[in-house]
Amino acid sequence: MSDEFRDPFRLSESDFLQHLALISRDAVLETFEMPYGTIVDVKRDIETNPRRQMSASEAIDLVGGVLHSADPTNLPKRLSNYGESAAMEDTRIHRYVGKRLHDELNDHVDAYTTEEGTEREWRRFLSLPAGKVGVLGDPVDGTSNSRAVREAFSCNLLVYGALGGAQFDMQSGVGTNASMETMIFDLRRRTVHMISPRGTLVTMGSNVGARGRRSAGTYATVGSRAAARLEVAAILDPTASFALGPATYGGSTFYDRALTTFLTGGAPKMISWPMSELEYLHVPHDQTPYDATPLVGCLLAGSCKYYVSATKKVADLEEVVSWMNAVTGPAGAQPHPVKAGLLVRDGADPKTTSILLELAHEAHVALSHRDGQR
């Protein structure tokens, strides 16, 4: 992290980040609003054209067709082949955030792109001269979650200072999840703030959040797709032993119990990490910087460690930031520089952690071997 980068903002850094946080919060609300907006459009169409009689099933079909993009050829082509195919939600929120940045922070942001960014947007971002500022993001991280269950997604935005020659220095970031919790982190000031759903702003510190508090044996990962669950099948095995102590549930005591698992991990759970009691958060795949945005804030908030699955060794904050600074674009030679790993809250049982690390390592090796054979 460079301390020599010139602060380009006429706004104070904190004001700029709070404004960026507001945009991310509004982007999540806008994602929720899209189906309702479509239904309103259907209702207006019926009201303005009384001769057109539309049944309830027709209205549902219309909404579904718009939201799920029955004709994907109508979507602009994106450069990234990472994750699922482009969706209307991603494209619309990409444009929504871009317009907000242009209209409200145009004097402070010199380039903006996301996974949905066009070739022109990426070229502008990667060619920023030294001293300029770019915002890199994922407008809807967890699109399938937002569609299927309308939860467990987030809007992630990273702020980079350009060093010239397609080199970058990450300065700060914000992320808002579908629970409307927002994380704001500032690397230069080494601060982390959380905003509650109702707008309460708190500074993370030794007496704030879940520092020292944890729910033993709680584990979250990304596991909505069958292929993802296969990658972590051994960890999800309800008969496996994880060296956990007995626990009472429903009046019964369970011994040698398995993990309590949540299959909607990733950035949405990382955003809430400083205020939650989740003990383990597993990232089974290498990630892009915009997918891993809140990981930096988790480490800045403290009381946790990030173990790399490939080596089972701890990656400190500076190493993670060095990964995040490797911005090559979705079509670059190294588009996923953030390494798969396990985020572990301080105080977790060393035996349980050791078992999980070994299983995460084995899953990573198997996944790398499978990908290498393709």
Name the pTM for this structure.
Answer: 0.86
Structural domain ending residue among the three candidates 203, 235, 261: 203
Tell me, yes or no, whether 288 lies in a domain: yes
* Co-location of 312 and 226 in the same domain: yes
* Co-location of 230 and 349 in the same domain: yes
Q: Give the count of domains, the chain.
A: 2
Tell me, yes or no, whether 208 lies in a domain: no
The residue segments making up the domain with residue 338 are 218-372
Tell me, yes or no, whether 271 lies in a domain: yes
* Co-location of 191 and 99 in the same domain: yes
Tell me, yes or no, whether 70 lies in a domain: no
* Co-location of 85 and 181 in the same domain: yes
Tell me, yes or no, whether 209 lies in a domain: no
* Co-location of 17 and 162 in the same domain: yes
Structural domain ending residue among the three candidates 178, 203, 228: 203
* Co-location of 158 and 236 in the same domain: no
Question: What are the pLDDT digits (tens) for 75-132?
Answer: 566 677 666 667 888 999 999 999 999 999 998 999 999 988 988 999 999 999 999 9
- Name the strand (E) or helix (H) holding 104: helix 88-105
Tell me, yes or no, whether 146 lies in a domain: yes
pLDDT of 213 reads: 81
Which CATH number fits the domain that encloses residue 80?
3.30.540.10
Which CATH number fits the domain that encloses residue 343?
3.40.190
- Report d(CA 168, CA 163) in Å as an integer: 5
Using a 10 angstrom Cβ sphere, with 0-12 exposed, 13-18 middle and 19 or more buried, the burial of residue 153 is buried
**Cβ atoms of residues 190 and 164 within 8 Å:** no
pLDDT of 249 reads: 86
pLDDT of 224 reads: 83
Half-sphere exposure of 318 (CA within 13 A, CB side): 2
Query: What amino acid occupies position 155?
Result: C
**Residue ranges for the chain with pLDDT beneath 50:** 1-6, 8-9, 42, 46, 50-73
* Co-location of 247 and 196 in the same domain: no
Tell me, yes or no, whether 345 lies in a domain: yes
* Co-location of 225 and 357 in the same domain: yes
* Co-location of 354 and 223 in the same domain: yes
pLDDT of 373 reads: 53
* Co-location of 188 and 125 in the same domain: yes
pLDDT of 239 reads: 93
- Report d(CA 115, CA 89) in Å as an integer: 12
Question: What are the pLDDT digits (tens) for 330-368?
Answer: 766 666 899 999 999 999 999 999 999 999 999 898 877
* Co-location of 152 and 236 in the same domain: no
Tell me, yes or no, whether 26 lies in a domain: yes
* Co-location of 226 and 144 in the same domain: no
Structural domain ending residue among the three candidates 148, 173, 203: 203
pLDDT of 357 reads: 97
Q: Which residues lie closer than 8 Å to 241 by C-beta, 6 or more apart?
A: 256, 258, 355
